[in-house]
Copies of this chain bind each other. A is one copy, B any other.
Amino acid sequence: MNEDVKDLNLSVVKAFTLLDAFTMDKQEWGVRELAIKKGYNKSTTYRLLNTLESLGVLQKNDNDKYLLGLKLFELGNLVAIHKTLRKYSRTPLENIAREIKETVHFGVLDKNQVLYLNKTESPQGLKVSTQIGSYQKAYCTAIGKVLLAFLPEQKLADYLQTVSLDACTANTITNRETLQKELQKIRVQEYALDMEELELGLICIAMPVYNNRGEVIASISVSGPSSRFKLENIENYISIIKKGAQAIEANIY
């Protein structure tokens, strides 16, 4: 946590630490509960929240609870990195979803995790739902395994050394050597499968997206419940996803 002890502005750190408490699962916070949650003094928390509200970073609900505010929406839309990727992935993802009728995700690797940049949800009732902008473990998702597989050798080695391979389901790869072999296989076949490795009942298939220097910069996945997702369709899926990947590749540098 306190790695470098650089001389940071503590108030600003606290402010963003407070903001981190706002998640999909808990979108509303009162002063007191947030102070307790983060271990800050009530007064401090109160003033920070107040400050953030006056900046439009937070806004108050009817219940006097705080919510993330539109300033963050504004700033979030200005983030330059990956913006192009998001923009040009939209239509191809939709085309894939239309053909396969399952949820399609688009992500990159950031800080050794999968960062979801875009998605198109399945039109069907039973579907996967991931939060855009959220992170997920790389080693147990199809997208993540694709991105890991095509990582430069040294970066992959670093990852494999430092990552903690916790089991999410009984199928999760928790052994470094097994993972290494899996990644080798993915490099050859140019797609990755996630056979309920992250979540029981959830199967995904992912393929790489290349830039024009031949580097893998992103990945597309299709996810569905194991009840629908039949392995005999894989060849079909692959060709549809490949088409989408190429459509994205045509637009990026």
Contact = CB atoms under 8 A, between A and B. Distances in A.
A11 B8 contact: no
Interface in A1-39: 4, 6-9, 11-13, 15-16, 19, 22-24, 27
Contact of A133 (B57, B59, B78, B131): B78
Contacts of A6: 50, 54
A16 B115 contact: no
A73 B75 CA distance: 8
Contact of A12 (B23, B52, B115): B52
Given A16-B55, A22-B78, A57-B16, A70 B9 contact: no
Contact of A81 (B16, B67, B78, B82): B67
A71 interface: yes
Contacts of A78: 22-24, 27, 68, 72, 131, 133
Contacts of A135: 74
Given A74-B133, A77-B132, A8 B50 contact: yes
Given A54-B6, A68-B79, A74 B16 contact: no
Nearest to A17: B55
A9 B8 contact: no
A134 B47 CA distance: 28
Nearest to A87: B121
Interface of A: 4, 6-9, 11-13, 15-16, 19, 22-24, 27, 47-48, 50-52, 54-55, 57, 59, 67-82, 110, 115, 131-135
11 contacts: A4-B54, A6-B50, A9-B47, A12-B15, A16-B71, A68-B79, A73-B82, A75-B75, A75-B133, A76-B133, A77-B132
